[in-house]
Amino acid sequence: MLLTKLEHAVAELRLRGQSVAVALSGGVDSVSLLVALQGLAHRLELEVCALHVNHELRGEESETDESFVRELAGALGVPLAVRSIDPKGLRQEQSGRQRMTLQEAARKLRYCALLEMGEELGVQYIATAHHLDDQAETILLRILRGTGPDGLCGIPEIGHAGRVVRPLLKVSRSEILDFARKNKLSWRDDSSNKNPAYRRNALRSLWMPRLAEEFNPRLIHALAQLAKAQRRDSDWIQQQVEAEAVKRFRNFPDGLEVQRDGWSELPDALVLRLARMAFEEMGQGREATAKHLERVMVFWRQGSNGTRIELPGKLQLQCERERFWLIAPGASSGSVVS
Domains of the chain: 2-228 (3.40.50.620), 253-336 (3.30.465.60)
d(CA 51, CA 73): 10
Which distant-in-sequence residues (6+ apart) come within 8 Å of 196 by Cβ?
202, 205
Share of the chain above pLDDT 70, in %: 95
Q: Per-residue pLDDT tens for 31-89?
A: 999 999 999 999 999 999 999 999 877 788 889 999 999 999 999 999 999 999 988 88
> Residue type at 28?
V
**CB count, 10 Å around CB of 29?**
24
Q: How confident is the model at residue 97 (pLDDT cuts 50, 70, 90)?
A: low
Question: How many alpha carbons lie under 13 Å from residue 66 in its C-beta half-sphere?
Answer: 16
Query: Cβ(257)–Cβ(323) under 8 Å?
Result: yes
pLDDT digits 0-9 by tens, 286-329: 788 889 999 999 999 999 999 999 998 889 999 998 899 999 87
Beta-strand pair 19-23/47-54? parallel
- C-alpha closest to that of 275 among 292, 259, 253, 255: 292
- Model pLDDT, residue 94: 65
Q: What is the DSSP code (8-state) at residue 169?
A: T
**How sure is the predictor about 149, in pLDDT bands with cuts at 50, 70 and 90?**
confident
pLDDT at position 148 over 70:
yes
Cβ atoms of 48 and 34 within 8 Å: the answer is: yes
| DSSP line for 238-278 | HHHHHHHHHHHEEEETTEEEEE-TTGGGS-HHHHHHHHHHH
Average pLDDT of the chain, as a whole number? 91
Q: What is the distance between the alpha carbons of residues 206 and 204, in angstroms, rounded to a whole number?
A: 6
Cα dihedral angle (214, 220, 224, 230), rounded to 10 degrees?
20
- DSSP, collapsed to helix, strand or coil, labels residue 327 as strand
Question: Is the predicted pLDDT of residue 98 greater than 70, yes or no?
Answer: no
- Mean pLDDT within 221-241: 95
What backbone torsions phi and psi does residue 280 show, to the nearest 5 degrees? Answer: -65, -40
**Is residue 332 over pLDDT 70?**
no
Q: What is the pLDDT of residues 111-126, one digit of tens each?
A: 999 999 999 999 999 9
Q: 294 φ, ψ to 5°? A: -60, -40
Element (H, E) at 309: strand 307-311
Name the pairing type of β-strands 335-336 and 307-311: parallel
* Start-end of H helices in the chain: 2-12, 28-44, 60-76, 87-92, 102-121, 132-145, 173-182, 199-202, 208-214, 219-248, 268-281, 290-302
The confidence score (pLDDT) of residue 104 equals: 83
Residues 6+ apart with CB under 8 A from 96: none
Q: What average pLDDT does range 236-252 have in this prediction?
A: 95
C-alpha span between 38 and 44 (Å, rounded): 10
Its pTM stands at: 0.85
Is the per-residue pLDDT at 93 higher than 80? no
Instruction: Write down the pLDDT at residue 307.
Output: 94
Determine the Cα–Cα distance for residues 338 and 310; give it in Å rounded to an integer: 8
